[in-house]
Amino acid sequence: MPEDALIEPLRGALLRHLGETEIDLARLAGQLPVQDVLGPATLAYLDAEDFAAAHIDGEVESLPAGHRDVQALIASVDEQDADECGLDEVVSPVFVLREGRDVIAAAGYGPWLDAAAHMAVLTASGYRGRGLARLVASAAVADALANGLLPQWRARPEPSRRVARALGFREYGAQISVQLRT
C-alpha cells in the first residue's frame, strides 16, 4: 500500500495507461519513483469441472509444509526460481516426487482469503520438461478442491503457464506489483 504522498502520483500514472493491453514498464518507471517491479504475471483459475487430473500411479508423496527435503529442493535452484515458486509460503501438505532420497518436484498451496488456493510448484533444474510439475501440481490441486478452495495459478514463465493449462486452468487476467521508493 503506497504512502499518502504517493497515492495521487500512482493513480495518475496508472490512469494514463487505462485501456492499454500492456503497460510499458520503462515508461511507468519514468513517471513514478519505481524501486522494483514484480510481473507482469498471468492469473489463472480452475474449477472442479475443468480439472484435467494427471494420472498418478502412487509415486507422489505428501510431506508437511516446510519439510527439510522440500527446503533442500528450494535451495538447489537459483534465487529467481526459488522466489518465483512460492513453496516457502505454502501451508498445505507439499506433494513431492523423489529420485532416490532427493525431492525433485514439489507442489502445495497457501490459502488466500479462505476461498482460493494459491498454487506453488517447483521442479529441480535438471528434471524439467518431463511432466513432473504436472504430476505434483495435480495432487495439490486435487487437495485444494477437496478442501473447498478455488485453485489459483500465478505465472510469468511460459513453461509454468503450460503446466497450468494442461491441468485445465484458464487465464483470466494479469497482475503486476510495483514497489515505489518513499
CATH 3.40.630.30 domain locations along the chain: 39-176
Average pLDDT over residues 138-167: 92
Q: Does residue 30 have a pLDDT over 70? A: no
- For residue 98, give the 3-state DSSP assignment: strand
Q: Does residue 65 have a pLDDT over 90? A: yes
pLDDT for residue 157: 77
Average pLDDT over residues 49-66: 88
Q: The domain 39-176: what is its CATH number?
A: 3.40.630.30
DSSP string for 157-168: SHHHHHHHHHHT
Which one, of 60, 90, 75, 63, lies nearest residue 152 by Cα? 90
pLDDT greater at residue 66 or residue 16: 66
pLDDT for residue 145: 97
Which one, of 165, 146, 182, 134, lies nearest residue 46 by Cα? 165
At 2, phi and psi to the nearest 5? -70, 155
